[in-house]
Structure formats: C-alpha cells, structure tokens
Structure 1
Amino acid sequence: MARLLIIVYFTSAFLSSFVPVQGVDRGNFKTCQQSSFCRRCRAMEPSNSAYELLMNTLKVETSSIEAEMINSRNLVTFKFQFFALTDGTFRMKINELNPIKPRFEVQDALVGEPLLEKLELVERKADKISIKCGSNIATIIAKPFRVDIHDENNILISANARGLMKFEHYRLKVPQTDPEEGEPDQVPVINDIELGDEEGAWEETFKSHHDSKPHGPSAVAMDFSFPSGESIYGIPEHADSFSLKSTADTDPYRLYNLDVFEYELDNPMALYGSIPLVLAHGVSKTVGVFWHNAAETWVDIKSKGEVTSGGSVGGAAAGMVSSIVSFVSGKAGSDDGNDAGGEPKGRPSNIDARFMSESGIIDVFFLMGPKPQDVSRQYAKLTGTATFPPYFAFGYHQSRWNYNDQDDVKSVDAGFDEHDIPCDVIWLDIEHTNGKRYFTWDKVKFPNPKEMIDHESAKGRKMVAIVDPHIKRDGGYFLHNDAEANDYYVKTKDGKVYEGWCWPGSSSYLDFFDEKVNEYYSSRYLFNNYVGSTEDLHIWNDMNEPSVFNGPEVTMPKDCVHAGGLWEHRDVHNAYALEHVKVTMDGLLRRTDGRLRPFILTRGHFAGSQRYAGVWTGDNAAEWSHLRVSIPMCLSISIAGIPMCGADITGFFKYPTPELFIRWYQAGAFQPFYRAHSHIDTKRREPWLMGDEALRLVREALRTRYSLLPFWYSLAREHETTGVPYMRPLWYQYPSERATFSIDNEYLLGDALLVHPVTEAGARYVTVYFPGEGKDVWYDFFTLEKIPGVGNVQIPVTIEKIPLYQRGGTIIPKKERIRRSSTLTQGDPFTLVVALDSKGEASGMLYLDDGKSYEFRDGKYIELFFKFAQDKLTSRVVNANSQYTTKERLEKVIIIGMAANFTRAEVESQEFGKMIVDSYYDDQSQVLVIRKPWVNIGSSWTLQLLK
C-alpha cells in the first residue's frame, strides 16, 4: 500500500511516464540525434585529421614519450603522452595543455597505477617515431596524427586511422569581467570553427529537462581500426547479440548507466552498466581497446566487409599498409609520402570502433593479446580480477520483491527442506526496511532480524538485504539528518542539495566521490550501526545508475556537481555505481576486520566493478526471448572482466509457463550467478508452486548445479590468477575456428564443459556445434556417451534433457552428496570425472580453501593438478608448502572413453602406502568406475589401473 500511495502522489506531481509501464518507453531515452555531442561527433567526415604532433616538443623518457599536439583548425594545444606498459601493452593519454579547469580523469576503475616497461626506441624521424615494448611496436605519425601498433608482420590496431579524433576544449561563452578591475579576465576565449552555431553545444533540453553546460561542449572521440579483426565483441551492457553489429544504419551502441524498465531486445540502447572495452578477434590475433572514460559514451561499430562511401576511410588504411610494408622490408621511416595515401573507392574497410564521450580526456589502453586469454590477463592487470567469491555465492539464491515478513521467510526456507531442494541464500528487497530507509528494518514485519538471520545460519544458509543509494528525505531518518548536517549529498549546479524521486519518494543522493562521505557510509555497515545485521547478511546494491524517477532519462541531471563542485555529474556518471559498491565492500570488510569475504550484487557497473561485486542483467521478462538473450549478455559481461553474471531466473516481469520455468532453471544452473527473482505484482513462483513435473526437473537441475560447486569454485581460482572468465565464448578456446565467431547460443565453462541451453518453446531437438574440427572428443555429461560427428550435430531433446557436454582431455571435480546448502557439504567426499581425449589422456585442477575467509592470501589453500596418462591418474599439490589441510576424501573416479577393461587399481599415497581397490567397467559405454580410493583429496597420490 505504501508503494501504491507513493506512485499515486508521484503521478499527480510529475508526468505519468515516470511510472513504470508495460515495456520500455523509448521516448524517455535519447537517441544519438537528440544528444548534441553524439550528433556533432557522428557528423564528422572521415578525412585527414586536424590534429598533429609538434615533433620539436617531443621528449623520450625511459618508459614514455611526450609531446605537444595542436588542432590545426583552431590552434588549441594539447598534451600527448604514450606509455609502454608491462606485458607488451600501451597507454595513450591526450589532455588539454592549459585547460581553464581540470578535466576529469577516472580514478577507481584501475586497480592501481599501471606498471611501466622500459621502451626501446626503434626509430625517430622528423615526422614519426617508433618504439617497441615486448614484441609490439608503436609507430606514431605526426601529421596527420595517427598511431599504428603492430608486431613484426601486421598492424593490429590503428588509432585515428580514419581521422575521426575530436577533442573539444573547455571554453568560456563570453569574456568574464572583474567588477573591480573593469578588465576582461585573462582566460582567452577560443572560437572553435569546427563547432559553429551547433544547437545544444552550450545548453541542451530534453523533454522538460534543461542541461546547462558552464564550460561549453567538451566531447572527446577517436576511431580505432583492427586490420586483422574479423569479429568484434564487448562494450556491455546491451540486450543484443554477442558479436557487435554494424551501426551504419542504426544508433551507435550507447554506454550510459540507466534504469531501463522492461528493456527491449536486439537494439543498442543503454542499460544499467557500461564497460568501454572492445575485443577484436581474428583467426590469428585477438586484441583489445579499453577507453578509460566514465562520461556518457556512444560507440559506432563498422564491420569487416562494410563498404564505405567514396575514399573517406582511408587515408589511413592505405597508409597503414604502406608503413608496415616499409617496416618489414627494412625501409621503416622512408619518406615516400605514402602515409597519407588514399584508398580506392568502395574498398571494404577494417573492423572499426569509434568511441565518442561527452567529457573527460582521451585515455586509451591497447591490449595486444595475441590470444584471448592474453587480453583477459592484460585487462585484469589494469582493472583487477573479480573479488574471490565465498563458496556459497555459487549456490542457489531465492529472491522476490518482496518476502512479506519473517514468517514468510521461514516458510520459504522450510519449503526448500520439505521439497528436498538445496538453497544457499534468501534475499530481501526494499519492503523489508522501515519505509524505504536503508540500514533499518520494518519493526512490524521484521521485528527480530538477527533471530531470522541466525535461523538461516543454523542451516548453513545466508541472507542478502538490499541497500540503495537514494536516501529518504525524512527528518526522522538518521542517515538523512547526518547527510544534511555534514554536507554529504550531491549538489545542483547552484550549490543546493539535489532532490529527486525514487522508491522512498523525495530523495537525495550520497556523493561517493567525496572521501568523507565514503568514510561515513562504510561505517553504516558496522554491526553496532546496522542493527540486526550479522556476518551472514550480505548486500545487494540496486538502483545505483543512479536511478531518479523524475530525472532526465530517469537518472541524475548532468549539471549536478560532486566533490565540492570539482566535477559535474556528466564527467563521472558511469562510475557512480562503481564508487557505490567500492564503499559497500569497504564497509563489509570493516565489520569483520577484513576477516571474511563479503558477497555483493550490483546492478549499475563500470570497469573495475568486478573487484567488489557480481552483476545481473536487470529487469528481464518471463519470455523465451529474454532467456535466449541472457547468454550473449553474460558472455559480453564476462569477457569484459566481470565473471560473476546471471539473469533473473524465470524472468522478473510477467509469469512463465511451466515449460519456460523448467528450461530457465536448467539454463541458469550453468550461469555463474544463479538467482530466482520476480516482481512484486507477479504470482509467487517458488520451485514447488509450478506443479510436480516442474518441481522434479527443477530439483534435478539444482542438484546438478550443486554437484559441480567444486568445479565452479576452481574456475574462480583460475580467474583469480589469470583473469580468464568462468563463462567463455567458443572462439575463446578455439580462436582459429571461424565457425565459432558468431555463436552465442552456447558457450564453455572453463575449457571443460560445453553448454547449449534449450531456449525455444516446444523444442524437440537443438543443433549443437561441437568445436575442435574433429580433433577434440566430446561426451554427454549425463549419459557419458561419446558424441558421434563433429561441427553441427542435431541433438534430440525432451523436457528432461539439458544439452551439456564434457570435452575429452579434461578432469572435473564433483561432490555427489547433495545437502540443503553448500556449507553443509564441507567434509563430504569428491568424485573425479576423467574424460579421455583421442590419446587417452586428460588433465584438470581442484582448488580448496575454507570458502569464506581471506586466509588463502596467507597460503592457507590447496591447489591440485590432476593428470591421466598411460593408464595412471596422478594428483600433485601445486603449492607444496600449503598451510591448509582437509580431511575430505576421494570417493570415486569415473573414467569415460576408456577402450580397455581394467578390473583393479593400485592407489599409492603417503598416508596409506599402496593398496588395491576394485573397479567396474562397462564395455558398451566404455566407462570405468573406480570405487573408494579413499585417499585424502588434498594430498599427492597416484592411481594405477591394473588388468
């Protein structure tokens, strides 16, 4: 009822379009044509760039070069810097040389200052300079400005190859006069002849919202070409295909964190998160570009083979070819005049991405691969790997907006036990609070929160509560009073506290770009401040785009100010959610003195958010199309550095059919974050409410998920050490196999499992593509049968069938005793599933620690490497000086694809010496089962098969 009253008042006070409606109201969100800076940038014609380096200012340092740059059309000067970084990567920064005020540079996306590498000077001439870092060479051409990065044979990335760089300097609209002196201020006014009288440059109106621009237009843009690329991926978050589409006939992809209600599919509209990273992939190379900018950004994509008009592309493209040919032939730097040569009309262009941001600086990282895993590692060195999840995070999460009260929570909890369904976490949405006041509890519905949480803890379960960034403007609310008294809120352009509308009604927003605010906010999570919380209560940060129901595009006005007026919201918008989860993580660490690993889920996200939280794909719907799109959405997020991704199981809006309900639980069981969640107005849909068949099949899917928790946890360790995602596109493991480049309805978990969820109603078969071009062997995960054929194979499916396959050559750890929560499986024995390749070999790994603390950082973990070859299975402890011990045992070994019968096995370990155990062989399925080797799973041992 409270929510209904707020909505009624809201609609009477503002426009009805702000109230959630059926489907997205696209009129609430800008197109590129309605965004003046996007319109200006996109109107540029590919040509020779107006920007040039002043080579007489060039300085070469140990790890960098620096020079002044000028726009030859308006004579504005810039500072150009180019850095050699570790791992053969590069960074380029361009900023105003003398801005009238500092321009915002993103701080917290990076894990720290990138490590520099000593550069090697290859050549230096009057019009260019080449430097080498690792095996990669960067050739920087002065006029027109361009950067070509190449290896010994091919150009891999070219910046400003199409001449679409733009850097709009800060300026004053009119000269300012000092009233005492009567003289104009000394800051010069530079007229930009490229700008002209373009509408929206100095101020802009969208619907009823006016955006003042006190420093005028401030856009930055640059194009990047990938000559060896055949497909391009990344720049999440969009509800679209995994492979990025050409935007020649559409709006560009938009990166602007927005609360989009019931989003549409198959278009480039902005959603909740923005990660400005693209990966260009070809059969021989994978490279990436990370556009380090937190302002609103539009990205144009040009696909390979797309015909360009006239000869506009490439001055540069031909120049790139010429310069690399000269380099390889030993004529690098020859003054043959070809650097600015033209390309024949109508010639197909390269894969190309053009980034256009409203403000900030040009700050670009070039990730040089050459393999997909290398790009992941290089990006992780910059923005960090994901926070290592506690073990329970990979279990099943049950949520709803909202569980009514403590009795409801107890009833749902009991339902899982009654129906023999495992569950690890129960979630509480906004209605658990006292009138949408975060860090509080509804005293009637949730009078004893600690008792409620402890009840779950006793069963090995956890709880998650929501904490949003909007603060209810209420004189009886301690957080609002503290924020008002201590100046913690975001301000308007006039210096007043900004007031918007969100779930509580009138709300203000904490300024997470102010350190004193962060110190205060993180302290709210301390147990003595967040009364009723315990170490088993974890946090959900929602609505942190930030969502403002009556704001422009349902978010905060761009001319609001942060950090005492230092930055406008336009500068920092996409990083607001990052700062929110960063301070949340700090608070959760403080409450246990850094002892325990928190779990945080966030909706808004940016580069670097992975260090603090997982994400989900937002307000989806109970429709087959939304189930299908969850796969490319999570693949995009995964390769952009955030491996913990999932979609609301069975859809947030609407109500699923029993078939869709079953299929979504089956599909979700193989995505990293596994949570059911639904809208407050939908019918209840706990797993036992959809009929007996749904209950049985959902239980089976959940039990399969829980059996594989050791595998998921080991993937988390692999990501922690290498940066590779849990969930991977097929081309990630098979980079030279072109047939995989466009596939986004199936994927790999690690390098071992191939998942092809059933996403069509009434499906009787699915066409599964088995990669490896016949060199790899694949086995059905459930039947253990070898898959006949290669490439596209038609697989019959019934409602019970989950198309899941193990690659030959891999070893997967499992726990087959399924309990009501993952915590209760600690101490249970393991099963190893050994899938043999064509050589009769396989390998794998297992990671063990306490599943909850940070003691693994002090060496308290065990990492095991398994190898099967010559009829012997070997376990080796990788970290020989491990300080962690376990009593868990190896209960069973299943070897599939075994052509010969072995009746026994000799197990040798330090604990037991040598002993003989029995085995069972099925010659029809070619499966060998070794029962109860019973060695300590965390030790080194061998298992030799005997006939």
Structure 2
Amino acid sequence: MTASRISHWAQQAFMLTSLLANTSDFAAVDTSRTMAPTSITSFQAQFTVAPTADVGAPLLPNIEDPNARDAQVECPGYLATHLDLKDCGFTAQLSLLGEACDVYGTDIQDLVLTVEHQAKTRLHVNIQPSHITPENGSWYILNETWVPAPQQEECLDASDLVFSWTNTPSFGFNVTRTSSQEVIFSTDGSKLIYENQFIEFVTSMDEGYNLYGLGEVIHGLRLQPGLTRTIYAADAGDPVDGNIYGSHPFYLETRYPRVQGGNTGSKDSSTSHGVYLRNAHAQEILMHDTNVTWRTLGGDIDLYFFSGPSQTEVTSQYIQQIGLPVMQQYWTLGYHQCRWGYENWSMTEEVVNNFAKFEIPLETMWNDIDYMKGYRDFDNDPIRFPYDEGKEFLDRLHAKGQHYVPIIDAAIYHPNPWNESDAYQVFNDGNETGSFMLNPDGSLYIGQVWPGFTVFPDWMTMSASKWWLQTMAAWQMKVPFDGLWIDMNEVSSFCVGSCGSKNLSQNPVHPAFKLPGEPGALVFEYPEGFNITNATEAASAQYGSSTQAAAASKTAGPSSTTTDYLRTTPIIGERNINQPPYVINHVHGDLAVHATSPNATHHNGVKEYDVHNLYGHQLLQNTYRAMTAIMPGKRPFIIGRSTFAGSGNYSGHWGGDNFSKFTYMYFSIPQALSMSLFGLPMFGVDTCGFGGNSDEELCNRWMMLSAFFPFYRNHNVLGAISQEPYVWESVMEATKVAMNIRFQLLPYMYTLFYHAHTSGDTVMRALAWEFPKDALLADADRQFLLGSAILVTPVLTQGHTTVDGVFPGLVEGTDVYYDWYNQSAMNVPKKKNTTIEAPLGHIPVYVRGGNILATQEMRMTTREARKTDWSLIVAMDKDGRANGTLYLDDGVSIEPEATKIVIMGGQVAVLADQARRNVTTLRVDVFVDGEFTDLDLPLANVTVLGVAAPPASLQVKVDKKNVTACVEYCAERQRLVISDLQQVLDGKVWRKNWSLTL
C-alpha cells in the first residue's frame, strides 16, 4: 500500500462511514464502532516523524518551465565519420559539431555508434561515449547481469530492417522496414544531444499516430499527442497520467493504411513495429503532434527495433528478448482474498470459513502487514499471529487444497541500538554480511518506512542475495507460505535522505501521517454515487462537510501564490546527483521524495541515481531464486509492485493502490493490456478498489469483470468498510455467476499462459491486436479478449443496465459471436457499435466463432475442479470450422516430468437429404501429443454452436464405431449438444487421437 495515498486520505475532512451488510444504508459512525478492523499493529511507536521529513526541494518540471532552455536550439549536434564495416553491421565515430552547449550537463565530445542486424526482425542501434572508464561506466552502461541484452543471432544478406544515416545538417538516422518501405523511426532534421546527465533524441511521427506502452501509467490504452510519459519508479497511489511503480521503456506503434478521409481503415491490414530503449535511468517521453522526444537523465542510447509486422509478432519478438513470462502454477488462477485489516489468525480463518459457508470458491488467503511484529519483515506478531497457531491454520488450509500468501516489504527495520528489547536478528544478519545500501561516506543509508527507520538490501552484492535466501528459508519453516507478495519495492522511503542516521534512539517511530483506523484519523468518503442511491442521507452529509469546510476557511492563513523554484546549473565535468539540472515531470517532484535518495550508494560504488528503476526488478529476481531454492522444482508464485523490462520472467504484478470508483474499474483494462505488451500477463487489480469505500453496485460489476483477468484478487485498505463478495447478497450471486464461467475457462486460460511462457503470446488482448484491419478499434479499451476466443464487454458506468460494444467482423460478415449464456449466435447489428442488455449481476461474454474450448466444472478449489469431467464447446466460424489447443501438465513443476498438447479441429457441413431438406454432418478430430495422463478423465458432452440445420443422423460414432449418446438439436439457437459420453474412450478423453462424427 502507498504511504502517499494514506497521507492524502488522512488529510481529508470526510466522515468515516460504515456499510450495513446486504443493504445500501450508510450512517456516520465513530471510528471505534466501525465494522472495519481498526487494530493496526502490536508495537507502540515512541516518536512520530515530522511531516517535513518527506518534503523535497521545490522543483518545476522542465516541460512546465517557461524559462527552460531548448537543447534542440542551443546544441550543435554531431557529425558521423570513420565508418567501419563489421560482419553484421558497422561502427562509426560521432563528434560534436561545434562548441559544447552544456545545457543540462556536460556535453560528451566523442561518441561511438554501433549498428547490428541481430536477426531478420531485430535491429540494434547503440550510441555511447567512446571513452568509458571504471569511474564513469555505471553512468552509461546497463550491466547485462542486471538486464540481459538481446544478442546477435545470425547475419543475413536480407534483413527486414535497414539503417541509414545522414550528416545534413547534423547526424540523424532512419530505420526502414524493407518489406513495406516504411520509415518506422527517423531522427532526420533533429539533433542528438548527449550530456553526462541529459540525453535527447527525437523521432518524427505521422499525424494521428497510434502508440501503446511506455509505462507504467494509469491512462487509456492509446497514447495521444500532448501527453508526457515519465518513467521513474514511484510509490504513488495510482494518479492518472503520473508515473507509478513500473519502468517499461518500450512502445508499440501501429499504422493503418491511409484511405479517403484519413485514418479510417481499409481492406488492408495495419502494420506494427516496436521500439525498446534499454536504459534504466529516469526518463521522459514527450508526445508531440508530429514527433516523439525521448529524454533520459543518463545511460546510453541502447535501442532495439522489432519489425513485426503485426502486433502479435512485435510483442512476441520483444518479450522473447527481455524474458518470457514465468509459467504460473495452476492454482494461482483461482480466486484470491485479501485486505489490510485481517488483524489475527482467527479473523483470517473466519473469512476462509465464510467463503465456505456461502459456497463461494476461494483458492488463496492473503495477509497484509497486519501479521508483522511492528511491521518487520520475516517476524510474526507473537500475540496476534503466533507461529504455532499459524501452522495449525495453514495445515487446515492446505488440507482443503487452499493456499496462503503473505506480504513482504522491501525495507528492513533497523533496531534501536540502545534498547536491547528492540533486537532484530534479520537486520543483524544482513548488517554483518554487508547486505544493505550505504551513504556516500560508507555509513548505512537509513530511511523510514512502516516499521520506523529502515535499511535497504543492496541487490548488487552477492551477500544480500544469500542473506535474503537464508532469511526467507528460516521464515518459511515457521510460516509455510505458498507464494509471496512483494510491496514497496520502488524502493519506497517515507523521508528524504538518510533521515534515520542520527535518530536511531527514537526507533521504532511512527510515520508522519495517521493510519486509517487510528484515533483521530479522518479517512474515507461515502461510496461513489451515494448521493444517487441515498439522496436524503447524502444531503445531510454534504451539509456537514460544507459547514466544516467553511469553518476551516475562516481560520486558514493566506495561501501562497508564488513559488521560488530550485534550478541547478551544470558544473562542467561533474554530476549533480540529488538535483539534476533537467527536472523530469516526476509525480513526487524531487527524485528523493518518498524514495531512497539518488545518492544512496551500492557497495560497488554505483549510485541509486543510475539504477533506481531496477530496484524492484532485482528484488523480484532474488525472491524468485530464493523460492526455487526453498521449494525445489516448484514454480514460484510472486506478485510484485515495481517492475522493469523482463520482470515477467520472475513474477506477476497487481495494479497497485487504486480507488473504489468506476473510473478505476475502467482503467484496470488498459492497464492490463499494457502489461500484456510488457510481458507481464499475470496481472490483476484490487477488485472493488483498494482506497475508499466500495458499494454494492461497484463491487457487483467489478467482481464480475475481474473474473476474466488472469490474477483475480479482492483487496482493500484498513479502516474502509468490508468488501468481501459475501457482504452483499447480489455481489455474492454475481460472483458465483462469473466464477462459474472462469472455472470452465481455466484450462483455456492455463493454455494461454503456456503459449505466453513458450512463445511470448499475450493472454489478455486488445481488440485492435486481433483485428488489425479495423482502424476504428485503435482506441478500443473498454472491451477485451481472452486469447482469441473470448470477448468480454463489461458495464463500466454507474447506474447503467446496458453497455455499448462492438463485435469486430460481425457487421463485415467475417466473424461470428455466440452469447456465452444462451449459446446462440449474435444477430448482425445495424451499426457497428451496438447496445447490449446488461442488468446488474450480468457481464456480457461471447465466444468467437472458429474456436474450440475444452472446459471443466466449477468447484470450491482448482484442485477439485481439475478432477471433474471434460466438455467441449465447438463454436463454428462462418465457414463451419473451428479449432483449439489444450496444454496439460501437473500444474506445479518448473520442469514437469510429462506434458501433453491436445490439438482439436471441428467442421460442420450442410447438405440436402433424400427429401431435399438441409441437414448437417459433424466431425470433431482430436490429436494428442505427450505422456501426461493425470487429467485423462471422462468426456461429458460436446456442444456445437452454429449448426444451421438438424443433424443428418442421431447416431454418434467415435473412431467410426457407434457409441451410445444423447443428441439434442435446438433449431432456434442453432445448437447441437451430444451428451452422456462418459463411457466413450474408456473414460479417458486425452489418452489417444480420436474422431467423433455425426
């Protein structure tokens, strides 16, 4: 959870409200009587940090500064000379064309350009100083141990990407796709600026360009001109358009054929390409009308171009280079429940029991920082979460096929050295092995997070990795967890600089803000739309709030209308680490605010300034390696907050500290789709919202929507009302409806993860990616696809009982869609955007024709669901064909002993019988490859959608032999169901190849 978010809440003058279960009535209540948990921790802080501790220098972002210098105007650019051809490319020298401008740092006089044709679809362009010494190397070169670099694969006479350059008026270059002769990247007409703390290059863009990626950010999927994307890992509670947790300097650009009237699409497909800047420094990307300007505060220019030409190919090409997504254990696709406020083992188990009582599937129970002793990692509170009681609870949980995931924060408590009772062995072990980051003078860097003054593991030391493993292994013996939740790993600190260095005698300390649920904390507002559903009560609450606001305004002092901003001037040959001359548009302003300071120093001498964006990624890497050692052979399950390019190779990600608002439910979709581009398919958000109070309608809609996200978890903040799905009857029923569909689709979702893990495919997909010919879908991010087969169209607006959606290809006659619930084909609408009925408790879901889905039934856990009979849904396309794949393994092992791939194909044909009536013949073929046998269970039924005429025969044959089965045909829905098949194939459907005919 985000401290800045909680600090913001603590300043709000809203009444704390409590929701009465199964009703929509609200009343103002005293915090001691709220139904939400209020116990926050067992330790008693002795000292509260001053709010000024987390206030940085007053800075004005360069893009908002009217007095900012323009490097494109002031700087001379470079001249390319001394071309040297290599086997797969060339090198050249770049020399400054005139006098140094030193706008935001010291100009580098001589650079080296390296161009490599690494593969047919990948081009590498690198620009770095010609003289790199051990002293300045970390400023420019990103270590391949930390972030692997794509390597040379083959030298080809014909590459799909060609590099060309010019010296007129200064060095610039073009990258051209040979197959289409498109220039996909061009710096011609702009200048290259390369200084020790500032790099800038500009690429021209077509008007109305379609750009995706450049995250992490809360925004719509498509990035429009006029935006600025800042890449700097920040502990910031999901501000719209601000930089947040992840750092992903990659974009996908899609271009549609130009037709009359402009960018409206044609019969020809679009083309896509990708650009990856392998650089971990703070970055800023400015999207102008006709160009994109890329700025970084250091590093080299290490560009990789991916030629596609489709989105599917671009994403796969990129993800295969940064690291394929980790294969998830099957159980992780079940439902997860969490909140900050399950204050002891008894309350935690009570929630588990409530899910069983109301017959709602529950796979995994989570604990937030409530379980910790004084918020310390790897240390349970002995009163509320004792180890012996916890082991008994977890034994009961595991016996039912359920799982447990606790939170781990990135910071480690530094005990008070003058208080023996404050001893903390975890710190002692790390400190003795030199595992924590330092100040420039070699002393410990001591910031402040939840437990008080804290230190931060230095992931650039082997000692920290070893200490992390040993500490985690010792704790896992006491708390047998099944996965880990990594939080605060941006890395977050609640004060500027090493604020604890001279204050350790005051430890433990309390943050500068009151936590939700603490006496005196003013926290949560009424749920969104409360004024609509509870008009009388809302008017009364509004009067009270306005009266308080008026009283406050009378006593408040005059507000300041002017600010003296700090502007630093470059010093030739030196770097200003803490206050770089160029000010990025950072959500917290000063780089040191709410994070470790840029001058925090690693044991190898590298400054956090140069590697800040990698901290969370390295923590995830080390956690993954530790878990593989602790649980040999099992796939680690990790959900992390701060990520970098390639983090999907180690973990999944959740969307951070969102709000209980319909807007944030919508934003979850483009956020998830962007994470698909970044190679992080295991993604979900805090369903029903983390911050603030949810309500029945919002939670109803959101629990249904999130059922179609890979990571499905409900989580909310301390002090808010409860929002487990059983709190409201309608939410409970809606959840069961959505979960029933999800469980049937779990084998399909697991197969999608297999393809993501092996090929870099996406799991959640934007409509534009699956339908590249339709330019009207470029902005579509209120619907999405799971793989290519399932279209989801949720209601995202309060009070609405219908939703507008599109069925790509339906109007054009190329695609068919079947309603999941009644299994009939959608009628062709009169217009592309059509209105769909969606009363509360219903989420429109459709099967796209041309797909075969192997399904199983819902049970209370995935373990039990995997024991149920199989069914096939065969959804025919307009030509009467369908196909599908199914991947099977033990669902646990990193390297399973046996696996199985099932390829399915189906076909219907309509012909005339002897009476000249139209009848249908059906054939379904199954091809099996692999030795895995555990899921060779009976086949219950085959449902065929899109059967225009009754079957020619009611006799079912499997491998040309008559079998006993029930055949039902519904002419109205054009649906054919073949059931009672459990005895065919000796009750083992995936044992061998087979064919079913009718």
1:640-719 → structure 2 map (5 Å cutoff): 640-690=678-728, 692-719=729-756
**In structure 1, C-alpha distance between the alignment counterparts of 2:40 and 2:363, rounded to whole Å:** 29
The CA deviation at 1:907 is 4.0
- Match 1:279 to one of 252, 262, 270: 252
CA 1:735–1:559: 2 relative to 1, 3 Å? same
RMSD: 2.6
Q: Please give the per-residue CA displacement for 1:17-63, whole angstroms capped at 9, x wherever unaligned.
A: 77xxxxxxxx9996632899x996x8333799612221x2x222222
- Match 1:577 to one of 588, 598, 616: 616
- Match 2:776 to one of 723, 726, 739: 739
1:416-495 → structure 2 map (5 Å cutoff): 416-447=355-386, 448=388, 449-474=390-415, 476-495=423-442
**In structure 1, C-alpha distance between the alignment counterparts of 2:628 and 2:656, rounded to whole Å:** 26
Show the counterpart of 2:152: 116
Show the counterpart of 1:900: 949
CA 1:671–1:49: 2 relative to 1, 3 Å? farther
The CA deviation at 1:14 is 3.8
Show the counterpart of 1:146: 172
SS in 1 for 2:304: strand
Q: Please give the per-residue CA displacement for 1:336-371, whole angstroms capped at 9, x wherever unaligned.
A: xxxxxxxxxxxxx3xx43221111111111111101
CA 1:452–1:599: 2 relative to 1, 3 Å? same
CA 1:34–1:944: 2 relative to 1, 3 Å? closer
The CA deviation at 1:224 is 2.8
SS in 1 for 2:722: coil
The CA deviation at 1:730 is 0.6
Say if 1:226 and 1:280, in contact at 8 Å, map to a contact too: no
Give the fraction of aligned pairs with identical amino acids, expressed as a percent.
26
**In structure 1, C-alpha distance between the alignment counterparts of 2:362 and 2:848, rounded to whole Å:** 29
Show the counterpart of 1:23: none
Show the counterpart of 2:184: 157
Say if 1:50 and 1:71, in contact at 8 Å, map to a contact too: yes
The CA deviation at 1:883 is 5.0
Give the aligned residue type for 1:776: D
Aligned residues: 811
2:788 pairs with 1:751:
yes
Say if 2:149 and 2:322, in contact at 8 Å, map to a contact too: no
2:976 pairs with 1:928:
yes
2:61 pairs with 1:32:
yes
Q: Please give the per-residue CA displacement for 1:373-428, whole angstroms capped at 9, x wherever unaligned.
A: 11111112211111000001111100011312111122111111111100110001
Q: Please give the per-residue CA displacement for 1:454-501, whole angstroms capped at 9, x wherever unaligned.
A: 211111110001111100001511121122222211112222211111
SS in 1 for 2:468: helix
2:572 pairs with 1:524:
no
CA 1:353–1:34: 2 relative to 1, 3 Å? closer
CA 1:618–1:162: 2 relative to 1, 3 Å? farther
Give the aligned residue type for 1:147: F
CA 1:433–1:5: 2 relative to 1, 3 Å? closer
Q: Please give the per-residue CA displacement for 1:193-225, whole angstroms capped at 9, x wherever unaligned.
A: xxxxxxxxxxxxxxxxxxxxxxxxx22232234
Show the counterpart of 2:307: 368
SS in 1 for 2:113: strand
Show the counterpart of 2:113: 80
Say if 1:727 and 1:749, in contact at 8 Å, map to a contact too: yes
**In structure 1, C-alpha distance between the alignment counterparts of 2:475 and 2:141, rounded to whole Å:** 34
Which structure 1 segments of 5+ residues have no match?
A: 19-26, 121-131, 170-217, 307-348
Give the aligned residue type for 1:752: A
Say if 2:730 and 2:841, in contact at 8 Å, map to a contact too: no
**In structure 2, C-alpha distance between the alignment counterparts of 1:5 and 1:416, rounded to whole Å:** 28
2:200 pairs with 1:221:
yes
Q: Please give the per-residue CA displacement for 1:786-828, whole angstroms capped at 9, x wherever unaligned.
A: 2122521111221122111111111122212x21111122221
1:261-410 → structure 2 map (5 Å cutoff): 261=237, 263-265=238-240, 267=241, 269-283=242-256, 284-302=270-288, 306=289, 349=290, 352-410=291-349
SS in 1 for 2:274: strand
2:221 pairs with 1:242:
yes
The CA deviation at 1:6 is 8.6
Say if 2:123 and 2:306, in contact at 8 Å, map to a contact too: yes
Say if 1:108 and 1:579, in contact at 8 Å, map to a contact too: no
Structure with the bigger RCO (C-alpha within 8 Å, sep 6+) is: 2
Show the counterpart of 1:812: 853
Show the counterpart of 1:193: none
1:503-542 → structure 2 map (5 Å cutoff): 503-526=450-473, 528-534=474-480, 536-542=481-487
SS in 2 for 1:506: strand
CA 1:753–1:424: 2 relative to 1, 3 Å? same
Show the counterpart of 1:785: 824
**In structure 1, C-alpha distance between the alignment counterparts of 2:209 and 2:881, rounded to whole Å:** 34
Say if 1:524 and 1:587, in contact at 8 Å, map to a contact too: no
**In structure 2, C-alpha distance between the alignment counterparts of 1:764 and 1:437, rounded to whole Å:** 46
**In structure 1, C-alpha distance between the alignment counterparts of 2:680 and 2:60, rounded to whole Å:** 27
2:631 pairs with 1:602:
no
Say if 1:710 and 1:815, in contact at 8 Å, map to a contact too: yes
SS in 1 for 2:780: coil
Q: Please give the per-residue CA displacement for 1:39-91, whole angstroms capped at 9, x wherever unaligned.
A: 96x8333799612221x2x2222223112211212370012111112242111
**In structure 1, C-alpha distance between the alignment counterparts of 2:346 and 2:57, rounded to whole Å:** 40
The CA deviation at 1:112 is 4.3
**In structure 2, C-alpha distance between the alignment counterparts of 1:109 and 1:366, rounded to whole Å:** 22
The CA deviation at 1:157 is 2.0
2:150 pairs with 1:98:
no
2:873 pairs with 1:840:
no
**In structure 2, C-alpha distance between the alignment counterparts of 1:820 and 1:517, rounded to whole Å:** 40
CA 1:524–1:799: 2 relative to 1, 3 Å? same
Show the counterpart of 2:565: none
SS in 2 for 1:518: helix
The CA deviation at 1:874 is 3.6
Show the counterpart of 2:650: 612
The CA deviation at 1:670 is 1.0
CA 1:410–1:109: 2 relative to 1, 3 Å? same
Say if 1:49 and 1:163, in contact at 8 Å, map to a contact too: no
CA 1:408–1:3: 2 relative to 1, 3 Å? closer
CA 1:10–1:579: 2 relative to 1, 3 Å? farther
**In structure 2, C-alpha distance between the alignment counterparts of 1:420 and 1:834, rounded to whole Å:** 30
The CA deviation at 1:9 is 6.5
TM-score normalised by structure 1 residue count: 0.82
SS in 2 for 1:635: helix
Show the counterpart of 1:829: 869
